[in-house]
Amino acid sequence: MFLPIHAAGIYHADGSASVSLADFAISSYTPSLSALLNRSQRQQQTAAFKLLAVIQPSAPGANPLPGTNDELKALQKYVPASSIHILRGPDATTATVLSGMEECSWIHLACHGVQDESDPMKSGLLLQDGQLHLSAIIQKHIPCAEFAFLSACQTAKGDGKRPEEAIHLAAGMLVAGYKGVMGTMWSIRDNDAPFVADKVYAQLLKDGQPSGVHPAVALHGAIQELRKRNGSNFSSWVPFIYMGA
């Protein structure tokens, strides 16, 4: 997962596109064909919609992410209080997040993400008490898992030493049972994340419940809006991708 094929196009020297694949197609990635087959063969339980919001604006030892607070505000615009479980700051630990994943069908992770290229299984999300490693995520099987939004850096960046293997956090969420995952191929700007989250959830939710809009469609629309806002800033919109069926 190194080539951003969804951004293929004809570009000018300043980085602006005269034509891009994103103008004509809605893209969706998969770590492997077997991942799609395995997920289609699983028996998943239906559960009432509930979203786990993990907000970590200041993980110990990491740069602050004030934009994560804006992401929470965006979520609260569309998700009623009865349908959202918030783990913020000191409450967002590896144990509480893993426990919350078992109780909620959707998850939004707004925090730092780290890719360990020497040992991808040690890639993780920075929480209050340390990293939630990929190795811990893939050991989970969450029957009611539906959708995950990994609003963190490098959540869909693969292993440079084994480019044939898609080993990253987004793929791990698929293994854990989520039908669809939004992730990032490299670092994103803190002020872009709330904008994309707001536009995505405005489409995914209606009257506080899933609208039926496919996540890939919702992300495509959000990215088109981001492209208009940032003009020729190629690096701002390309990292965001959707994985799943």
The pLDDT tens digits of the residues spanning 209-220 come to 999 999 999 999
For 132, the token pair is 């939630």
The pLDDT value given to residue 127: 96
The helix (run of H) or strand (run of E) holding residue 237 is: helix 234-237
pLDDT in tens, 7-31: 787 877 766 667 878 888 898 887 6
Tens digits of residue pLDDT in 108-160: 999 998 888 788 888 889 999 999 998 998 888 788 899 999 997 654 444 44
Measured between alpha carbons, how far is 197 from 218 in angstroms, rounded to an integer? Answer: 10
Average pLDDT of the chain to the nearest whole number: 85
pTM of the shown model: 0.87
Q: Both tokens of residue 44?
A: 């998943």
| Statement: 40-244 belongs to CATH 3.40.109.10 | no
d(CA 203, CA 215) in angstroms, rounded, equals 9
At residue 151, the 3 state secondary structure works out as strand
- Residue 59 CA to residue 48 CA, distance in Å, equals 31
CA distance 150 to 157: 12
